[in-house]
């Protein structure tokens, strides 16, 4: 409310903390990286069944139709696309409009 608004206006540290918290909440790329690493580990271990089971967490492709190279391509494409959409877009809006831009982007 009003108390938080006054604190942010008066304190650069409070403003920075609010911006950092909003950026962390909006960007949230950790699950994407975690899933990509899980598929990568399965492929590195030669476990195509596990890689196919994890792939739907990243993209909508039919994993049964893909070989190991196809799964690897799908992971890279999904990470690149999601990074562009979720991370870069959020950072641009955050740079342009601050916390309201971040929250508007996520909405």
pLDDT digits (tens, 9 = 90+) for 74-92: 999 998 888 877 777 878 8
Could you state, in order of their start, the residue ranges of all structural domains in the chain? 2-106
* pLDDT digit string, tens, across residues 22-33: 766 666 666 888
- The three state secondary structure string of the chain is CHHHHHHHHHCHHHHHHHHHHHHHHHHCCHHHHHHHHHHHHHHHCCCHHHHHHHHHHCCCCCHHHCCHHHHHHHHHHHHHHHHHHHHHHHHHHHHHHHHHHHHHHHC
């Amino acid at each position: 409310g009003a108390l938080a608004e006054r604190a942010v206006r008066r304190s650069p540290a409070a403003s920075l903390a609010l911006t950092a918290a909003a950026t962390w909440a909006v960007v949230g790329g950790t699950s994407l990286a975690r899933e990509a690493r899980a598929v990568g580990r399965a492929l590195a271990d030669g476990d195509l069944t596990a890689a196919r089971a994890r792939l739907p967490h990243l993209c909508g492709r039919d994993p049964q139709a893909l070989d190991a190279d196809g799964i690897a391509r799908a992971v890279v494409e999904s990470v690149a696309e999601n990074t562009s959409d979720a991370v870069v877009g959020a950072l641009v809006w955050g740079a342009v409009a601050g916390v309201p831009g971040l929250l508007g982007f996520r909405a």
